[in-house]
Amino acid sequence: MSGIVPSSSGNAAAPGGALAGASEGASNLADVLERVLDKGIVIVGDIRVNLLDIELLTIRLRLLVAGVDTARRIGIDWWEHDPWLSGGDENRRAELEQRLDRIERLVAGEEEPPALERENEQLREEVDRLRRQLTSGSEQRGADG
């Protein structure tokens, strides 16, 4: 395993006025980044806040930096199953698209608004029917008792 070795010509000026080690530094940085993403790196730390030897707050930090392939190799693939990131339930999306299409047709005047009066009348009839069942049931219980 090779480490990062600083360039011996790091501060020497190139003929064009740029630093000679600039392109070498960029390639070293790219190599380090490639290694980190390929192998992965874990950073662990704890933050504790104490007052008079009483622990008030503890924050435990765990950070994993890795490439997608490396994460999958070690069994981490939460982004594929997270509905917020993966687009969520397809049925819900289709339902929302249908509702949006209907609203757009209503606004454009291509479709008549639902007959709310008819729906209200049906609901009133259902409520009256339920009331009749309730009163007839209570009258039967009173006659039986």
Query: Tell me: the pLDDT tens digits for 45-71?
Result: 899 999 998 889 999 988 888 888 888
Domain-embedded: residue 1: no
Give the H or E element holding residue 65. Answer: strand 54-65
- Cβ proximity of 44 and 26 under 8 Å: no
Domain-embedded: residue 127: yes
What range defines the domain where residue 49 resides?
40-86
As for how many domains the chain has, the answer is: 2
Domain-embedded: residue 59: yes
Instruction: Return mean pLDDT, the chain.
Output: 75
**Residues 72-81: contacts with CB under 8 Å, at least 24 apart:** 74/40
Whether 114 and 129 share a structural domain: yes
Q: What is the pLDDT of residue 58?
A: 92
Domain-embedded: residue 111: yes
Whether 96 and 109 share a structural domain: yes
DSSP 34: H
- Cβ proximity of 40 and 70 under 8 Å: yes
- Cβ proximity of 36 and 58 under 8 Å: no
Whether 81 and 102 share a structural domain: no
Q: Last residue of a domain, which of 71, 86, 101?
A: 86
Answer whether residue 144 shows pLDDT above 70. no
Answer whether residue 13 shows pLDDT above 50. no
Instruction: Give the residues across from 62 on adjacent strands.
Output: 44
Whether 67 and 100 share a structural domain: no
- Cβ proximity of 136 and 143 under 8 Å: no
Domain-embedded: residue 10: no
Whether 95 and 130 share a structural domain: yes
The CA distance from 83 to 75, in Å, is: 19
Place of tokens 């982004």: 79
Answer whether residue 101 shows pLDDT above 80. yes
Domain-embedded: residue 18: no
Domain-embedded: residue 29: no
Domain-embedded: residue 97: yes
Instruction: Give the residues across from 49 on adjacent strands.
Output: 57
